[in-house]
Amino acid sequence: MNYHSHKDSEIKASFGDALLASLAPGGGLWMPDALPFFSPHETARLGAMSFADCAAELATHFTDERFSKADLDEICDDAYNYPVPIRTLSGEALDPALAPDAEDFVLELFHGPTLAFKDFAARFMGRAASHLMGTTKQKRTILVATSGDTGGAIGDAFLDQKGIKVFILFPKGGVSKVQEQQLTTMGTARSNVKAISVDGTFDDCQQLVKQAFGNSELTEKHDLMSANSINVGRVIPQSFYYFWTSLQAKAAYPNRPLVYSIPSGNLGNLTGGLIAKKMGAPIDRFVIGNNANDPFVDYLSTGVYTPRPSVPTLSNAMDIGRPNNFPRIVALHDNNYAAIRDVCWGASFTDDETERHIRRIHTETGYVMCPHTAVGHLAMEKFAADVPEPFTRITVGTAHPAKFADSVERILHTEIPLPTPLAKAMKKKKRVHVMAPTLDALSDYLSIHA
């Protein structure tokens, strides 16, 4: 598969080069030239595989000759060694024998090592990048801006990988206590992963990373690489779980339409879903849940896209006023607003509505949602209110509620037990550099540590 810049289709790269370059010359986002399409016969075969096997097979269509099928099998087996459950709020599995009338499911993408959906992309990308480092003997410095979860997932995926240093930029006071602990406790003082607390917002962090990539002196000096969802290596693996889980859902409830709801910020997760649909995944519609940072939901209702400064909310990982992947979604639909509206429906919610929803769902079912998942579930409920016939609803659970224990415990007045990896991280010593949100400050820090 070759890739081209969304700004100029004449600018091309292989998968490996697009992954290592992060952005195309001129700042474009890499886009796959042509997506594979799987017939119902082929999808049936892929759906019968394990998730890791299906992911490896899909990956053969997106990579280049530097990745053999055996390499991809090894990468996916190693990356995807945790479950991908779809369950009802009362805990039944996706199984018509156990839950014949169930419609409302959560796809829990938070059973990986950092308990957030970012693990799926980060673990594939980390292994793919270090495979390339091994074959090319190159070095890379990864800069990653995080609103909480990406940094943890990238840090974990790249920790101790040879030839790669990772600098995680997060907004000071803008991530949850548990997330900050996870971000700042990876490895030892000499480890290849460093956390930087930026005195600003997530948009400032994202802007700094963009500025660094726009500065040819810095990019060349440090061989910079981005691990944010501007990197196509992050977005492609996010299509794998939509592809595979939609086949499981369709096999369980073949006669019902299938709709996913995605709590969204930078729209990388949605881009993965849209790619899966274009590959033949049996998904009828995507519902998009935004918090008060809702330029995409506004775009869906007005056709006008107006990026804006972000505002802080309860679902802080989605506090994004200028979603990075918006241009990819437009390009995937040939700049056709009507085509985007045909597949996407959106709604946004206040923090009060989100809090009330977390409380109501807990009271009614016992299920504990993180604030992001709750925004997605609220959006799905709103969408379902206007759909008379039964359909399979899958809300994408993007993070374990314990990652947001400070807010969830306040909302529910109940203790959220920390899963083992988090409990271990909470005991570790923090290592963090506090920095002004300027390129000079970042450049100084990189010249010492990169």
Ligand X SMILES: Cc1ncc(COP(=O)(O)O)c(C=O)c1O
Q: Per CB under 6 A, which of residues 289..318 are in contact with ligand X?
A: 317-318
With CB under 6 A as the contact rule, which of the stretches 6-14, 143-151, 158-166, 422-430 interacts with ligand X? 143-151
CA angle, 331 then 274 then 372, to 5° = 115
Nearer to ligand X, 252 or 374 (CB): 374
Nearer to ligand X, 32 or 323 (CB): 323
SS3 107: strand
Tokens matching residue 119: 């693990």
Query: In the set 19, 76, 86, 116, which binds ligand X (CB under 6 A)?
Result: 116
In the complex, the smallest distance separating the C-beta of residue 268 from ligand X, rounded to whole angstroms, is 3
With CB under 6 A as the contact rule, which of the stretches 85-93, 259-267, 305-313, 433-441 interacts with ligand X? 259-267
Alpha helices in 80-172 (DSSP H): 118-136, 149-158
Nearer to ligand X, 43 or 324 (CB): 324
CB of 247 within 8 A of CB of 276? no
Nearer to ligand X, 72 or 408 (CB): 408
Question: Which residue, 96, 207, 97, is CA-closest to 143?
Answer: 207
Torsion angle of the four alpha carbons 263, 266, 269, 272, in this order, in degrees rounded to the nearest 10: 140
* Separation of alpha carbons 298 and 304, rounded Å: 7
* Contacts by residues 41-44 (CB-CB < 8 Å, ≥ 24 positions apart): 42/280, 43/247, 43/280, 43/281, 43/282, 44/247
In the complex, the smallest distance separating the C-beta of residue 117 from ligand X, rounded to whole angstroms, is 7
Nearer to ligand X, 250 or 333 (CB): 333
* Separation of alpha carbons 341 and 322, rounded Å: 19
* Separation of alpha carbons 292 and 164, rounded Å: 36
- Give the number of residues in contact with ligand X, rule: CB under 6 A: 18
Query: In the set 182, 264, 313, 407, which binds ligand X (CB under 6 A)?
Result: 264
Q: Per CB under 6 A, which of residues 391..450 are in contact with ligand X?
A: 398-399
With CB under 6 A as the contact rule, which of the stretches 36-44, 75-83, 88-96, 266-274 interacts with ligand X? 266-274
Query: In the set 43, 150, 192, 293, which binds ligand X (CB under 6 A)?
Result: 150
Tokens matching residue 59: 């990956």
Q: Per CB under 6 A, which of residues 167..226 are in contact with ligand X?
A: none
What is the C-alpha R_g of the chain? 20
Query: In the set 16, 28, 126, 148, which binds ligand X (CB under 6 A)?
Result: 148
Q: Per CB under 6 A, which of residues 341..400 are in contact with ligand X?
A: 372, 398-399
Is 263 among the residues that bind ligand X (CB under 6 A)? yes
Is 112 among the residues that bind ligand X (CB under 6 A)? no
CA atoms within 13 A on the CB side of 319: 27
With CB under 6 A as the contact rule, which of the stretches 25-33, 260-268, 347-355, 411-419 interacts with ligand X? 260-268
Is 227 among the residues that bind ligand X (CB under 6 A)? no
SS3 209: helix
Is 281 among the residues that bind ligand X (CB under 6 A)? no
Nearer to ligand X, 102 or 416 (CB): 416
* Separation of alpha carbons 231 and 175, rounded Å: 22
Nearer to ligand X, 253 or 286 (CB): 286
Q: In what order do the strands lie in the sheet with 30-32?
A: 8-14, 2-5, 30-32
Nearer to ligand X, 218 or 270 (CB): 270
Nearer to ligand X, 247 or 267 (CB): 267
Strand pairing report for 344-348 and 285-290: parallel
Query: In the set 47, 126, 268, 401, which binds ligand X (CB under 6 A)?
Result: 268
Q: Give me the residues that bind ligand X (CB under 6 A), please.
A: 116, 147-150, 229, 263-269, 317-318, 372, 398-399
